[in-house]
Chain A
Amino acid sequence: MMQTWYFSEQSYHPAWSEVHGDVRITAASDAIDPATAHRLLNRYIDEWVAADELGFNIMVNEHHATYTCMSVSCMLTLGILANRTKNARLLALGVPLLNRLDPFRIAEEIAYVDCMSGGRLEVGLIKGTPFEMYVSNANPADAMQRYWEAHDVVEKALSHQEGPFSWEGRYFDYRYVNVIPRCYQQPHPPMWLTTLSSATAREAGRRGLVLAITASAPAARMAYPIYREQYQETFGRPAALDRFAFLGYVGIGKDRATGLARGQKVLKFVEATERTAQSFINPPGILSDVDNARILRAGKTTSHRRKVLPDGTPMSDRPVAEEYVKNSVMFAGSPDDIVDQLRAFYDSCGGFGHFLMQMGGELTAAETIDSLELFAREVQPRLREFGIQQAAVA
């Protein structure tokens, strides 16, 4: 059965029109009105509580030094939601292992939230946004080795329950690793990761982690088959649909025009995320030498998200919702439109068991609640058929 997870980035969107230029890394914090930030942060929590009551699961994230996302720690937000929600699964997607320098503390916070929520936590241990390495100061040049060592520390810290162990690795050094309380889910919550690379998709399949692809249909079509192949090889059985997740933006209204207009408001978030200085987009060592050679030749850095439509034509300078719909990055319009769009994309990539529904942007609180209610009432029941039909075919 398809699970739907409600997600917004807890942005401070009033600043998007006030701040000139970049809104990440180097933007001054004085565009924050503390009373407005207080109101918005509480509003976002209330929206997740409403989503829980409507039968959605919940996804949160974190970023650093940016007006696009005020959540500075997944586990801070989830600590609140663990107490305020009743049924929703609570997904951190994710905890950026590269930009969080202490994996022991990550393990402790995972166990705390899992206990607090009565075992409703799911954890994406992700690498993190490359340009935030300028904030955390994590070295991008040996990022992947450090990522996997941190991953091993977190997994062992949660799984090893017979007293402390010591860890003397290349990147991390601990005398006594001992997580108390231990997790509610034993030995630890389900683990997810995100990627846009084939190598990481394969590693996720080898480890049986949930593979989440965020806002890129071509990446899903590339990564899911690699995961399926590797999972079959490692575990000797096909990967279930619940190993696959896709994040898309949603603009839903009672009719197509309202849905597309709401989609356009959600896309204000995407526009804001692109206001990042070229200096920070590509820290050395994140991309391959061959990719960086191409960038040197071009003499400019471009976003990893390709701005072309499926037929190869470029998107508009400020792309509209319909264009993102064509790319299966956004699902927008009436409830019927959204079911059709999701169905077509689902079939094109072999299916997935989790739909991560991102809204936020410049939607108002009332529009958000109305969207959640519409989706719960008119879309969600029809998504349940997706997995069942595929299972019957298989």
Chain B
Amino acid sequence: MSQTENIRVAGVSIEVWRAGEGRPLLYLHSGEGVEPALSFLQSLSSRYQVIAPSHPGFGGSDLPDHFSSVDDLAYFYLDLVKQLGLEGALLMGSSFGGWIAASMAIKNSGLFSGLVLASPLGAKFGDESTREIADLFSVPQYNLSQVIYADQRKIDYSEWEEKDLVRLARNHRSFALFGWSPTLHDPKLSRRLYRIDLPTLVVWGDRDNVVKPAYGRHYADAISGARFVLIEGAGHYPHVEAQARFEEELASFSDKLPMFAGACPKREGAA
């Protein structure tokens, strides 16, 4: 059973999808919103208590006028962790959400028991003339799926409901607000990743057309002790495209983590 509710954190009303019991896992979605991962999250909820908020500006979440950077989102989510009592949670982010998760862990690793990054964006390792992250804003939104998925699937939106399409369009606009320039990265991030002091799993699809696996290896190398896993046949969403394999990797990673003494999830703050 999943439940979607709106809660207020630091004065901002946001939509949160929740399901399951067990070790809390805070999932931060990609630039497309939470929807592409819902079936993955549903499956995870048999082992974890999954908390999947829509970022401010995405889904049913408000966008405060002063928000414009990934830092704004990272600080916001650190507040959310404290408010919901998620200390000790496993922190997972996909793509743009991986960038937010890395930024949170840089600021405060002590709040979490582990970090899982599925094809995170946000860092730059190459030189000035090398764009390592595909410019997802130079792709018409209706063609994004062709870049994101290894099978280059084309999603047909012609039968979608108006409200769902408007939601998707707003997600893309907010994604641009946070990621337009520098293109989907923060030039300082790569030099700050060393501050992440957490067991970390970095997962990449070997057919990722948004960010190549070599970039993922750089990402993992920059985080002390991080484990890098390459999943065959997957594109930019390895947790969606190779769900079973991803869940195995996640389980073997999280089973080795000690339960965090402070982990005692509360449900307060629900609006």
Give B138's nearest chain A residue, CB to CB.
Answer: A279
Q: Are A284 and B173 in contact (CB under 8 A)?
A: yes
B218 within 8 A of A: no
- Distance of A293 Cα from B162 Cα, bound (Å): 7
Q: Are B157 and A141 in contact (CB under 8 A)?
A: no
A279 touching B158 in the complex, CB below 8 Å, given contacts A142-B177, A289-B170, A289-B173? no
- Distance of A300 Cα from B181 Cα, bound (Å): 25
Give B157's nearest chain A residue, CB to CB.
Answer: A296
Q: Are B156 and A284 in contact (CB under 8 A)?
A: no
A200 within 8 A of B: no
Give A288's nearest chain B residue, CB to CB.
Answer: B169
Interface size on B, residues (CB 8 A): 25
**Which residues of B in the span 12-42 have a Cβ within 8 Å of any Cβ on A?**
none
Tell me which of B46-54, B103-111, B139-147 binds A: B139-147
Interface size on A, residues (CB 8 A): 26
**Contacting residues, chain B, for A279 (C-beta < 8 A):** 138-140
Give B139's nearest chain A residue, CB to CB.
Answer: A279
Q: Are A296 and B142 in contact (CB under 8 A)?
A: yes
B255 → A minimal CB distance (Å): 40
- Distance of A137 Cα from B173 Cα, bound (Å): 15
A293 touching B166 in the complex, CB below 8 Å, given contacts A141-B173, A279-B139? yes
A293 touching B142 in the complex, CB below 8 Å, given contacts A140-B176, A140-B180? no
A301 within 8 A of B: yes
**Contacting residues, chain A, for B68 (C-beta < 8 A):** 142
**Contacting residues, chain A, for B172 (C-beta < 8 A):** 284, 292
Q: Are A139 and B177 in contact (CB under 8 A)?
A: yes
Q: Contacting B141 at CB < 8 Å: which of A134, A137, A280, A292?
A: A292
Pick the most buried of B137, B138, B162, B177: most chain A CB atoms within 10 A of its CB: B137
Q: Are A293 and B169 in contact (CB under 8 A)?
A: yes
B133 → A minimal CB distance (Å): 15
A301 touching B140 in the complex, CB below 8 Å, given contacts A284-B175, A289-B173? yes
A282 within 8 A of B: yes
Give A280's nearest chain B residue, CB to CB.
Answer: B138
A366 within 8 A of B: no
Residue-by-residue, is A275-308 near B (CB-CB < 8 Å gives 1, otherwise 0)?
0001110111100011011111111110000000
With contacts A296-B165, A299-B156, A299-B157 known, what are 19 further pairs, Cβ within 8 A? A137-B180, A138-B181, A141-B177, A283-B176, A284-B137, A284-B173, A284-B176, A285-B173, A289-B173, A292-B141, A292-B169, A292-B172, A292-B173, A296-B141, A296-B142, A296-B169, A297-B160, A298-B142, A300-B140
A interface, CB within 8 angstroms of B = 134, 137-142, 278-280, 282-285, 289-290, 292-301
A-B contacts, 16 of them at CB < 8 A, read A134-B138, A138-B181, A141-B176, A141-B180, A142-B68, A284-B137, A292-B141, A292-B165, A293-B162, A293-B168, A295-B140, A296-B160, A296-B168, A298-B158, A299-B157, A301-B140
B interface, CB within 8 angstroms of A = 68, 137-142, 156-158, 160, 162, 165-166, 168-170, 172-177, 180-181
